[in-house]
Amino acid sequence: MKFSIAAGTLLAVASSASTAYGFTPTSRSIATTRLSTNPTHLRSSSITSLQLAAKESEGTPLNVGIVGATGAVGKEIVGCLEKRSFPVNNLRIFGSERSAGREVETDFGKVTVELFSEDSARECDVVFLAVDGDFSLAHAENICKGDDGAVVIDNSSAFRYVDGVPLVVPEINAETTKGKKLIANPNCTTAIGLMAIWPLHKLFGLKSMIMSVRQILCT
């Protein structure tokens, strides 16, 4: 596996990106049922900075790919990578025929949008999918397949109920990403809500929870 560190830091980038706009491409809030509540998986709120510092000290920046980077969530992923000064060796942005060839200004340099292909995505160390569930179902597993595949962090709902695919809020169960090549990111309201609920669960042990969410998208 060419990318061996825990993916908690990278997943935190994806989580931050989806919550910044208050939605992910497809939302299924009840996916919280698959999040681990094992106390051994708890990570403090400083996990992202600690993991980032550890990675930077290794001196091995990563080749990062983003599929759908010209959309709202994809743009925010780029912004989060910039704000966290994530050690990016090479940023590659993949899109459709409509967006291919467009130039995007980033803190990592000017990036030309490439026409997406699974082979090109597999050349990266890690790939963020900021696309819909159908796209993720069609391509995610092929991108991460084998020892030479990339780690895939999916922002859609496609893999949130799939056994063996960790559904992760980094500050709670980041350890479940170890050794995994495909990682699911929860719905934005799920991630935000669990940050408040997790300490209560540790103190009192919650048996069940009902969360009602109303989302309004403005255009």
Angstrom distance (rounded) from CA 125 to CA 7: 11
pLDDT for the residue numbered 46: 27
Query: What pLDDT shows up at residue 12?
Result: 57
Give pLDDT, residue 102: 93
Name the pLDDT band for 39 (thresholds 50, 70, 90). very low
pLDDT above 80: residue 140: yes
Q: What is the pTM of this model?
A: 0.74
pLDDT of res. 189? 85
- How far, CA to CA in Å, does 72 sit from each of 171, 173, 211? 24, 26, 25
158: closest CA among 127, 180, 187? Answer: 187
Contact 185, 55 (CB under 8 A): no
Neighbours of 210 (CB within 10 A): 5
What's the rounded Cα separation, in Å, for the pair 181 and 145? 8
Rg (CA), the chain: 17
Superfamily of domain 8-204: NAD(P)-binding Rossmann-like Domain (3.40.50.720)
Every domain of the chain and the residues it spans: 8-204
User: Amino acid identity, residue 216?
Assistant: I
Q: Which residue has the higher pLDDT, 213 or 194?
A: 194
Of 3-17, 26-40, 170-184, least confident by mean pLDDT is: 26-40
Question: What CA–CA distance (Å, rounded) separates 47 from 65?
Answer: 23
State yes or no: pLDDT of 2 exceeds 80.
Answer: no
Under DSSP, the state recorded for 85 is: T
Average pLDDT estimate for 74-88: 91
